[in-house]
Amino acid sequence: MLKLAVQKSGRLHEDSMQLLKECGISISNGANKLKTEAGNFPLQVFFLRDDDIPQYVEDAVADIGIVGENVVYEKNKTVDVVEKLGFGKCRLSFAVVRGEQYNDIQSLEGKRIATSYPYLTAQFLQKNKVKADIHEISGSVEIAPGIGLADAICDLVSSGSTLLTNGLKEVETILRSEAILIRNQQFSEEQQHILDKLLFRIHAVKKAKNNKYILLNAPNDKLDEIISLLPGMKSPTVLPLADKGWSSVHSVLSEDEFWDKIERLKNAGAQGILVVPIEKMVM
């Protein structure tokens, strides 16, 4: 049995549960429960505040956890980073009052900076030889300059709209973050075995998200050229169509080359191109 810590509620909760679901792990999520057990996988899930997750994993109260990199690096606990999970993306940035002049990080010298990330903020300022006064506050950091508590802030940003509505501008990014899977450093062989099984599924889910299944019709005299554009898992599948002189070609395309390839396939004579999402992909 492996014990997994996830955020109880908040920005990472839904995506964490969705990932487990896509891994075929069914969790009865009693919203107010502290913990629950998976029906069909040797996994116990603990619902906790995200700030507490690195500590729980370091202490082996939980064996693994899903939490933002920002929290892991701020708490500076001794845990292993196993996998980036691709959701909960944000950045930890300095922001100052919009009308204020800002040239570089030296502009923060002597300023009062409000943040929920005192460790990372101090580390960054020290590295840049800037002396500033750090005020740790636990929430609503963005209102600190407006109420006269601070001159600048260091806070999480994703779209930037919160900064905008509070009359602030982002001036320096100190960390890019996403949700990661962390683990305790002491693992038994059995625990590692379960983690490997979970990772196998996570990889299949991630891979599928980055790829699309593509079906198209090709005139046989253009088949070679069209096939040369398609990688496929081994090579594309080619099936004859009822219509003589035509074939149906099936393959897999990755997200980053997708539009470019579609255009070239079309130019090469492909017709009736269908693109469908892939649910799981095992190599």
**Candidates 49-57, 106-114, 123-131, 241-249; binding stretch for ligand ATP (CB under 6 A):** 49-57
**Of the residues 140, 158, 185, 271, which one makes contact with ligand ATP according to CB under 6 A:** 158
**88 near ligand ATP, judged by CB under 6 A:** yes
Would you call 239 helix, strand, or coil by DSSP?
Answer: strand
Task: Find the angle CA(92)-CA(77)-CA(85) to the nearest 5 degrees.
Answer: 55
Classify residue 8 by burial, with Cβ atoms within 10 Å: 0-12, 13-18, 19+: middle
**136 near Zn ion, judged by CB under 5 A:** no
**Of the residues 23, 90, 262, 268, which one makes contact with ligand ATP according to CB under 6 A:** 90
**7 near ligand ATP, judged by CB under 6 A:** yes
**236 near ligand ATP, judged by CB under 6 A:** no
Strand pairing of 211-219 and 271-277? Answer: antiparallel
Around Cβ 267, how many Cβ atoms within 10 Å? Answer: 10
Report what 22 binds from ligand ATP, Zn ion, none; CB cut-off 5-8 Å by kind.
none
Rounded CA separation 230/268 (Å): 12
| Beta-carbon contacts of residue 222 (< 8 Å; ≥ 6 apart) | 268, 269, 270
Report what 16 binds from ligand ATP, Zn ion, none; CB cut-off 5-8 Å by kind.
none
Look at residues 271, 268, 220, 226 and name the one whose alpha carbon lies nearest to residue 245: 220
Q: Tell me the residue number closest to ligand ATP, measured at CB.
A: 68
Report what 251 binds from ligand ATP, Zn ion, none; CB cut-off 5-8 Å by kind.
none
Report what 114 binds from Zn ion, ligand ATP, none; CB cut-off 5-8 Å by kind.
none
Number of residues interacting with Zn ion: please give it, by CB under 5 A.
2
**Candidates 48-56, 78-86, 91-99, 128-136; binding stretch for Zn ion (CB under 5 A):** 48-56
In the chain, the amino acid numbered 27 is: I
**51 near Zn ion, judged by CB under 5 A:** yes
Rounded CA separation 113/122 (Å): 10
Q: Which residues bind ligand ATP (CB under 6 A)?
A: 7, 10-12, 49-51, 68, 70-71, 88, 90, 156, 158, 177
